[in-house]
Structure 1
Amino acid sequence: MSAVLGILAVLLVAIGLVAAFLRVDASKLAGALRIAGPAVLGLAGILLTVTGRAAVGGMLLTGAAAWYSFGRAKGRVAKPKGQRSTVRTAALEMELDHDTGGLEGIVLAGRHEQKMLSGLSLKQLMELYKELAGDSESRQLLETYLDGRFPAWRDDVKANGGDRQGVAPGSGPMTKEEAYKVLGLEAGATTADIRKAHRRLMQRLHPDLGGTSFLAARINEAKDILLSDHG
């Protein structure tokens, strides 16, 4: 009889805890249940064990441990990866992390083909810059990367006489597939998604905010191409 009374007492406590938890928001409730639930189940297992019902008590203790472990594992689920935009030219492919604003790129042609820009020294990047003398789009994209990683690199170019070329015409109209990549969207994105992605990117890359006119122009072009299908 005492064992039954003990279990009833535990259940009453559990009911009281649940009633209290229902007065808090869902996120707090979920966090509390990850701790309180296994604790109540474990306490019941201990009571049954000490009152001579070790088999049932052991099962409850095992269940409490499993419940607690599952709750901790669920709480450690990684956050989804942030959106990324991709801009590609004849010689470079650059990726922008929307959350951090960080740029990373890979060389598609030339002496440093298939090398990541982050793995190249300033000297090597300047060699690449000279190689791209006839490719204005790739040069402008590389300039964007250099501005972020080596803010004073232009001073060195000027000190060495410089070798900048005039801006040549683009390599052709942007395709819809490229436009989606530039805005970091999946094909079929809604008008609201397109406008939201464009606004977020322009807040980071607009020339008036420290960005570059080259990337800003690409972002605007991508938005115009995709919105043209949405009337």
Structure 2
Amino acid sequence: MSLTGRVHWIAGLIGGALPFVRQYILNHVYHRLNQQRGDNEQSGKNGQSANHTPPPTSSNGNMSRNEALAILGLKETASEDDIIQAHRQLMQKLHPDRGGNDYLASQLNAAKETLLKR
């Protein structure tokens, strides 16, 4: 319509830019909310800081209880239900079918097995 003279060229530019601006703002808000949600999940229930990274597992393949607790983000007093719930939540995020990788999934499984040994 700007080309035919029915609408001023500035209005045409604004109208053409609105979808791009809207998409940019929505993407920004979406990423900000996901970042806050991730920070809250890491520091919320388990009482750990959001910048905590679990230590690497030992090279001999046997995972210690402390390493397993760190991988699942749990405290020493975690119950069996807490272990299962933490494993399930992390596996939903890090499963290879959902964009994670085999190594992370195997570490989560090994941590769960180590903690649930009877």
Question: Scaled by the length of structure 2, what TM-score is found?
Answer: 0.53
Distance in 2, Cα, partners of 1:181 & 1:197: 11
Q: Percent identity?
A: 43
CA distances 1:63-95 after superposition (whole Å, capped 9, x unpaired): xxxxxxxxxxxxxxxx893356633238xxxxx
For CA contacts below 8 A with separation 6 or more, give which structure has more relative contact order: 2
SS at match of 2:117: helix
Q: 1:87 aligns with which of 33, 36, 54?
A: 54
Q: 1:222 aligns with which of 97, 111, 115?
A: 111
Cα drift, residue 212 of structure 1: 1.0
Question: Scaled by the length of structure 1, what TM-score is found?
Answer: 0.28
How large is the Cα RMSD of the aligned pairs? 2.4
Equivalences for residues 107-186 of structure 1 within 5 A:
171-172=59-60, 173-186=62-75
Indicate conservation of the 8 Å contact 2:68/2:111, yes or no. Answer: yes
Indicate conservation of the 8 Å contact 1:86/1:184, yes or no. Answer: no
Q: 1:189 aligns with which of 78, 84, 87?
A: 78
Distance in 2, Cα, partners of 1:187 & 1:177: 8
Distance in 2, Cα, partners of 1:179 & 1:196: 14
Instruction: Specify which structure has the higher proportion of strand.
Output: 1
CA distances 1:95-134 after superposition (whole Å, capped 9, x unpaired): xxxxxxxxxxxxxxxxxxxxxxxxxxxxxxxxxxxxxxxx
Distance in 2, Cα, partners of 1:178 & 1:228: 14
- Mark the runs of 5 or more structure 2 residues left unpaired by the alignment: 1-39
Equivalences for residues 68-87 of structure 1 within 5 A:
81-82=43-44, 83=46, 86-87=53-54
Cα drift, residue 197 of structure 1: 0.1
- Mark the runs of 5 or more structure 1 residues left unpaired by the alignment: 1-78, 91-169
